[in-house]
Amino acid sequence: MDFDWIDCHYDLKDITPKEVEEVFEDPFAIRLLPESEHNQNEARYFNLGKTVGNRYLFSVFWTDGKSCRVILCREMTEAESAFYERKNAEWM
């Protein structure tokens, strides 16, 4: 998947593009479609994943199936990382 880095709304020095790509490649990442009144063509998704360096990141993104635009990326909260670990433990 190609990433579109135009108009990032977060600091690419704190979270690098490589780390963002790593959480999308995480085989245990959790992707969710939040309830939304948005048109299906404009749907935004959540991604919870872990980098190779064990950094837990939460992302909001849009995709058309070929490219991905990350709208927001930040460290997961304690509750989000606990959710990530709990869901992965359920699937093992």
Each residue's pLDDT tens digit, 26-45: 999 999 987 666 556 667 89
Question: The pTM is what?
Answer: 0.85
Positions of E strands within the chain: 2-4, 30-32, 45-50, 56-63, 67-75
Residue 31 structure tokens: 């992707």
Q: Please give the residue range of the domain that contains residue 65.
A: 2-91
* Burial status of residue 86 (CB atoms within 10 A of its CB: 0-12, 13-18, 19 or more): exposed
Total domains in the fold of the chain: 1
Count Cβ neighbours within 10 Å for each residue of 24-48 and write b for 16 or more, e otherwise: bebeebbeeeeeeeeeeeeeebebb
CB of 1 closer than 8 Å to CB of 67: yes
The model's pLDDT over 53-91, given as tens digits with 9 standing for 90+, comes to 999 999 999 888 888 899 889 999 999 999 999 999 997
